A and B are shown apart, each in its own frame.
Chain A
Amino acid sequence: MTRREVWVYLGCLGLAPLAKAWEFVYFRSQVSPDLTLPIACAAGWLCDVPAAVLAGFSTGLIADAFTGRLIGLTSMTLTVAAFISSWAKRFISPDMPFSRSMAALISSGAADLAAYWVLKASGISIDTAYFFKSILPANVLWSFILVVPFEGLLRGISLAFSRLWPDEAKRKVGGFPYEPNA
């Protein structure tokens, strides 16, 4: 885990409770944006797989603790989302328009399908039509849109941390430690 990835990870830990508090106050409908999903997708886009899955898992655990039911479901969902988003960088060029959003769309869709399957397997029946017509489209659409601002936010947080605690090794050679992952 590079230092930059540590800052992104800490950024996720800071943003997750704020996102859940925002959802609690403002979103009264069941089909509302899940703000932690784009956070995990953004972390996946910014970090390599190990850091991304750790960020996804921890963000999910925080979200689960807020929900208080079936702890582990959101952590699993966000681990999958972060993994796929990080892995998708191999196939989606960052220079391509909407590259982050495309990665978020694929990863959030796959993560929701995984969660739906796990819920079905554990005997919690979500209506199939309701899942495919309401939950899934709303989630992938919101992730597609919200991953960009959340990625900017995480970048900003990591940049701010890096300014406060610069990476000595990189400072000596004059490198800029906040470049996107190669």
Chain B
Amino acid sequence: MRRLFPYKKAILTALLLAASVFLMNVTGKPQQGPSFWETLCWKAAGPAIGVFQKAKEWSLGVSVAFRSKKALMEENQKLKEEIETLSSLKPAMENLLAENARLKELLQFKESSPGEYKVAKVIGRNPTKWFSTLVISLGTKDGVLPDAPVMSRSGLVGRVLSCDDDTATVLLLTDPESGVGALVSRSREYGVVLGGSGSDRLVLRFFSRDADVASGDKIFTSGMGKKYPAGIYIGEVTEVYVPKPGLVKECVVKPATDFDHLEEVLVKIR
């Protein structure tokens, strides 16, 4: 057997690499919903995710309660008992107040944007360093459809990539496969906003070398391509350049949304 396969290790490695490339070719096309294997994996990992989420909530609660208690004890030693009661309520109240403020902002945003929107909680971030996707708490049952635009209180987040009954995967603007038709509000120059440069940096590629753009310009969706409605704020230009080699002007856009700390988002359902 060894004579037949003198390079067994190399052959096995090459076969596995070839299998990986084959899988990439087969699964490279975008799908409307999660695959069977994806669903199976998430279902199998469900209990572990539940335990980790409970542990996270518990540790957050403990840390917040500890900090609040310490601060209040220093300030009001005489009212210790009352403060202890308050301190146990305070973290929960602070959390509710913060949530209230965020939701109010989202509501204001919703009122200023045409169409029907629903608020969704961000459940988690897909565990990969190459792509940028989030999982949110709304699915087809709630009226969410693939390609629906997703927004935060500050601006555009991305669009729904795929959805099942209860959850949806959101393709963030920062994903290397994301592209959004955009325009400069001051000069009405059109371009495409591309991801793949990290969570605090987008690249706006124009269609000409002479595009009128400067640092500080505000960038909005153009409505071209029909996936995103026009007029949603994307971010602000921080740097303008012509890449080498390159034919068209590009600029760096600082996104309005903080993609690393998203907790709630708005999803357009109609």
Contacts and interface: CB of A to CB of B under 8 A. Distances in A.
Contacts of A25: 49, 52-53, 56, 124
Contact of B37 (A54, A65, A70, A115): A65
B198 interface: yes
B222 interface: no
B24 interface: yes
A79 B20 contact: yes
Nearest to A114: B17
A53 interface: yes
B13 A24 contact: no
A160 interface: no
A83 interface: yes
B23 A72 contact: yes
Contacts of A53: 9, 12-13, 16
Contacts of A24: 45, 49, 52, 124-127, 135
A49 interface: yes
Interface string B1-30: 000000011001100110111111111100
A17 interface: yes
A67 B49 contact: no
B176 A79 contact: no
B128 interface: yes
A63 B176 CA distance: 19
A80 B18 CA distance: 12
Contacts, number: 174
Interface string A93-133: 00000000000000000000001001100101111011000
Contacts of B102: none
Interface in B202-238: 203
A165 interface: no
Contact of B162 (A68, A73, A138): A68
Contacts of A23: 125, 127
Contacts of A49: 9, 12-13
Interface residues of A, number: 56
B260 interface: yes
Interface stretch (A2-10, A29-37, A146-154, A172-180): A29-37
B118 interface: no
A67 B13 contact: no
Contacts of B19: 57, 72, 75
B129 A139 contact: yes
Given A25-B52, A72-B21, A66 B41 contact: yes
A173 B163 CA distance: 57
A26 B52 contact: yes
Interface of B: 8-9, 12-13, 16-17, 19-28, 31, 34-35, 37-38, 40-42, 44-45, 48-49, 52-53, 56, 124-133, 135, 162, 169, 174, 176-177, 194, 196-199, 201, 203, 259-262
28 contacts: A23-B127, A24-B52, A24-B125, A24-B126, A24-B127, A25-B49, A27-B127, A30-B129, A30-B174, A49-B12, A50-B8, A53-B9, A53-B12, A56-B16, A63-B128, A65-B38, A65-B40, A66-B38, A66-B45, A69-B27, A69-B128, A70-B27, A71-B27, A72-B22, A79-B17, A79-B20, A118-B21, A138-B129
Interface of A: 17-18, 20-32, 34, 48-50, 53-54, 56-57, 60, 62-76, 79-80, 83, 115, 118-119, 122, 124-127, 129-130, 134-135, 138-139
